[in-house]
């Protein structure tokens, strides 16, 4: 039965999730170099246009289309064929559900761009995101939320995108970072983020929008949505506090960058669990995800020497995996279904989470290599050395974020 309240709630949440992509652009733009600011913004901006068109054409159908199989939907709803103003998904119009899921299809590939910042050719990135959306994101969305193998057969829980959004994008970013290689002066010259205020602005927009991301996944204005709001708030806050503490323990100083990163880590960690765990469990997830991501980032950069430029895998990939595992530890069936977590003496749901994460990882790795190989057959993935030194703002877009600036980058 149609509900005006639920519909209004989901439309508002959809608008918030759409805002996440510009928010991420500022977050990444501030963390990057001055000479790449326009490029970092553009890498998120173009996905808004591309993602909407692809999702309406066949993204929704491949994710949730009728008569799909365990791995992908169908083309029965190509260009939203068969859906009209009277179609319902639960208590909301199907168009509202389409719009909400479409917003997820925008922010997910945008996360990938953080790993390749400063060195990937824009045209190559455009083609890669196009192929990746079709070969990885839409099938994975179906496998988890559309009745496919991960959410249906295996029974893994993912409330708002631990597998679909964060593990997929973070893992893809890591693979691309390896394929592209390090930036020219990586670990050789002093590197400073060019605009900490932009990082804070981006974090604020992401935090604000994330409440729509998680609460809206209840698909109704109800108690579950309110529960997800509270778990999201407590996990992100705990993540911030712990990251501040880690900075102090390491350097003796607290940093705004660390505080912002801690918020994002907490948000990533709670995403798969927001509608399945108690509030006290959300606090534990927030308190533990920051140290895990903190150590993970250090391991990737200092031990494996992988240039995950803006820590897409270190934060989203590792945080998503941790949050998915702890969902299996703390899930309380009385909140929103599932099987009891490890803390209640049951093992089935935890093993389902592990299996779901493994299948996600395999799908993403294979799909990412295939997409990257296809694009590489058409054009180089990486810009030339001279173009990288000049900066991608000028070499790729012919624009400068700060045309009056005359100092050194």
Kindly give, in sequence order, each residue whose CB lies less than 8 Å from that of residue 203, ignoring residues fewer than 6 positions away. 23, 27, 260, 263, 264
What's the predicted TM-score (pTM) here? 0.96
CA-based nearest residue to 25, from 124, 120, 110, 86: 110
Q: Does domain 4-382 have CATH number 1.10.287.70?
A: no
Q: What is the pLDDT of residue 170?
A: 98
Kindly give, in sequence order, each residue whose CB lies less than 8 Å from that of residue 399, ignoring residues fewer than 6 positions away. 38, 393
**Token pair recorded at residue 196:** 């900490």
Q: What is the pLDDT of residue 185?
A: 79
- Are the CB atoms for 393 and 36 separated by under 8 Å? yes
Q: How many CB atoms lie within 10 A of CB 283?
A: 18
How many whole angstroms separate alpha carbon 15 and alpha carbon 7?
12
Which residue is associated with the tokens 């890591």?
174
- Are the CB atoms for 229 and 271 separated by under 8 Å? no
DSSP secondary structure letter of residue 34: G
How many whole angstroms separate alpha carbon 57 and alpha carbon 104?
16
Can you spell out the DSSP letters for 88-111? Answer: EETTEEHHHHHHHHHHHHHHHHHH
pLDDT digits (tens), the chain, 409 positions: 889 999 999 999 999 999 999 999 999 999 999 999 999 999 999 999 999 999 999 999 999 998 889 999 999 999 999 999 999 999 999 999 999 999 999 999 999 999 999 999 999 999 999 999 999 999 999 999 999 999 999 999 999 999 999 999 999 999 999 999 999 977 776 677 889 999 999 999 999 999 999 999 999 999 999 999 999 999 999 999 999 999 999 999 999 999 999 999 999 999 999 999 999 999 999 999 999 999 999 999 989 999 999 999 999 999 999 999 999 999 999 999 999 999 999 999 999 999 999 999 999 999 999 999 999 999 999 999 999 999 999 999 999 998 875 555 5
HSE of 203, CA atoms in CB hemisphere, 13 A: 24
Which residue is associated with the tokens 């100083």?
253
Which residue is associated with the tokens 């103003």?
85
CA-based nearest residue to 317, from 249, 275, 351, 368: 368
Cα angle vertex 18, ends 285, 64, to 5°? Answer: 80
């Amino acid at each position: 039965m149609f509900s005006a309240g639920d519909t209004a709630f989901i439309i508002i949440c959809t608008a918030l999730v759409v805002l996440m992509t510009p928010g991420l652009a500022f977050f990444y733009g501030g963390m990057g170099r001055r000479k790449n600011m326009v490029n970092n913004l553009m890498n998120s901006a173009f996905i808004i246009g591309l993602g909407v068109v692809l999702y309406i054409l066949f993204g929704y159908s491949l994710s949730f289309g009728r008569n799909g199989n365990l791995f992908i939907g169908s083309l029965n709803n190509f260009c939203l064929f068969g859906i009209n103003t009277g179609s319902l998904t639960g208590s909301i119009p199907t168009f509202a559900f389409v719009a909400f899921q479409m917003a997820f299809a925008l922010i997910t590939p945008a996360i990938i761009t953080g790993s390749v910042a400063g060195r990937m050719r824009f045209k190559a990135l455009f083609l890669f995101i196009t192929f990746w959306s079709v070969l990885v994101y839409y099938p994975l969305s179906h496998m988890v939320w559309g009745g496919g193998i991960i959410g249906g057969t295996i029974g893994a829980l993912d409330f708002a995108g631990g597998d679909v959004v964060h593990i997929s994008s973070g893992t893809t970013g890591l693979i691309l970072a390896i394929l592209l290689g390090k930036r020219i002066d990586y670990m050789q010259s002093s590197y400073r983020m060019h605009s900490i205020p932009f990082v804070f602005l981006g974090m604020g927009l992401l935090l604000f929008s994330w409440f729509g991301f998680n609460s809206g996944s209840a698909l109704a204005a109800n108690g579950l949505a309110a529960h997800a709001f509270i778990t999201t708030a407590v996990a992100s806050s705990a993540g911030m506090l712990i990251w501040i503490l880690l900075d102090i323990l390491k350097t003796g100083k607290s940093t705004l960058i660390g505080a912002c990163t801690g918020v994002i880590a907490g948000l990533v960690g709670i995403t798969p669990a927001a509608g399945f765990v108690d509030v006290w469990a959300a606090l534990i997830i927030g308190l533990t995800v920051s140290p895990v991501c903190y150590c993970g980032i250090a391991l990737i950069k200092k031990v494996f020497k992988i240039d995950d430029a803006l820590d897409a895998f270190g934060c989203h990939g590792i945080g998503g995996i941790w949050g998915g595992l702890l969902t299996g530890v703390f899930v309380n069936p009385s909140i929103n279904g599932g099987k009891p977590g490890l803390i209640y003496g049951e093992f089935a749901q935890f093993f389902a989470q592990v299996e779901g994460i493994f299948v996600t990882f395999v799908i993403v790795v294979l799909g990412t290599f295939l997409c990257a190989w296809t694009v590489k057959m058409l054009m180089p993935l990486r810009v030339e050395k001279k173009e990288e030194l000049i900066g991608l703002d000028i070499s790729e877009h012919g624009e400068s974020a700060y045309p009056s600036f005359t100092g050194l980058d």
